[in-house]
Structure 1
Amino acid sequence: MHGIVIVENETVIKVERIVHVLFDPDAVTFLQQAFDIDPTLRDDILVLEDDYRYGPVIADSHEWEIRKQWLKNHLFIQQEDDDKAVFQEGSLRQQLRENMKADEQLHVWIWMTNHLREVCGYFSLLPWISDFDQRVELIFLHNLPFLNEKFQLFFPEKISQIPAREYPKAKRLATPLSSEEMIADREEWQKLQQQNSLLRKTTGERKCTSIAVDSYDETLLKCCNTDWIRLSRLLSASRQRSGMDIGDEFWIWRLKQIHASGLIEIQGEWHQKPLIRIAGGEQPAAQVNDLSADEMNNE
């Protein structure tokens, strides 16, 4: 890795600027804490919250509006304006590109593990940055051991699991990417777009593939029965059964599709966290099944 700072009379002087890119919002606090441990890390942080594990693949920067409208129409229907962070991402990504064009000393550091959300996030950013040769650096923490808060060895599954004191060690892994490498990865992302699927899964190191959008519908149905169950309980059980830590909005969207097919019944409005049961149940709505996810898995 090339030199980043000159230490002179205990003053850190940067010779280039960095934008740290995170796809895991929970990691922001730890990276900020790491700035106090290693001042050479201190710079801007760009958090991209949109979860590309699901929804349309965007392979060109001008296609962002397509994804934005899909999110509004399917996942964030109650959101009446564009204030939600996920709706700002098109402009955030474009601003990053404009800043890199204007400042040749600006470098992007992408922090990621092999967690599917982070892998998809990396691919999704390529349309905006792939032509900046050697100015995008990847810190890919896959199958690498770190020390947790109890100083025990562990292998992080996502960036937010890494304690702040481990970031200075992790930064040594920063690897500049050539335009050729990023364009090759971008072509793989374009292949996913051509498959026109709305859901993805991990297939290996820094790789993902398309799967049927209803792949987890059966999991949702298995978490329902003839008793009414609160939506929050159902979502918790679904995450545990599937091993997918996807946000509520995805699961609710799939539940709406299942409800439209007549397989489940609901009591209440979706935005008010309704009660849910398998279609044809006879139990009164006042009697609610509040089993924990563990109890449901053991049934």
Structure 2
Amino acid sequence: MHLGLALPFGDIGGDGKIVREFAELAEAEGYDGLTLADHVLGGNPKNPASGRAGGLGLFHDPFVAFGFIAACTKKVELSTQVLILAQRQTVLVAKQAASLDVLSGGRFRFGVGVGWNELEFVGLNENFHNRGKRSEEQVQVMKALWADPYVTFDGKWHHLPDAGINPRPPSRKIPLWFGGHMDVTLQRIAKWGDGWMMLSEPPGPKAVAEFDKLRRLVEAEGRDPASVGLEVWTSTGTGTEKDWREELIFWKKAGVTHVTLHNTFGGYHHKRMAGRSMTDHVDAMRRYRNAVADLL
């Protein structure tokens, strides 16, 4: 199994020295991947209209941060979890992703989602209400630009007149994973995706049923379900080493291919860890990997 680690810059800070130190430590400890979330704007919490969008957490631009981290590390994978695709210009994102993949030596795994924060779409002058359908066309445009030197595309939202990007990914594709939990998300993965980042379900029958649903959809598209990866998040915020091992064993039996230790996420059933210092996070990542290393 692939073991990733979410970068906790909102806790430990995000200046260049800290980013370098934590990324190098994670790689030295044996983590296979580093992940970053994506938010461009946060609303003023004093403004009631901000709602869930209130507050300014520390979120580096993933392409900039991963470009820096790529130069600090040698082999660790770099993954967005997730980049909000529909609030960005498609061709520009394809170019940024390709550049990162080239500069990192093919280490980029591209997780995308549709987002929930309408405030960001307004600020970036993009339509929040058609973001799902528009993202489907975005995926097709990006995959074409990565594969071919020149692309002609005439869609509902995108029109390319025999043009291309340079550089392109060395393998002419970038692993494209989707976050989200609606049936339409699974349908998109079945058509275009290389994997699913599933956060909503704890270990149990419902999670297994969702995985099986995705596999059936992948088969219906004429693809091999084994070619589509499955990722879950975990945390040291609850349980002991014994509990962490039992959870990983369950996910492994369920066919999960990627597990990411995310110690700062508190959504759905996930619990963030109590500590917020660099020492707390380094200790947590060491404890977790030492506990499960023989199961990977």
TM exceeds 0.5? Answer: no
Q: Return the TM-score normalized by structure 1.
A: 0.24
Q: Return the TM-score normalized by structure 2.
A: 0.24
Larger Rg: 1
- Give 1 or 2: higher strand fraction: 1
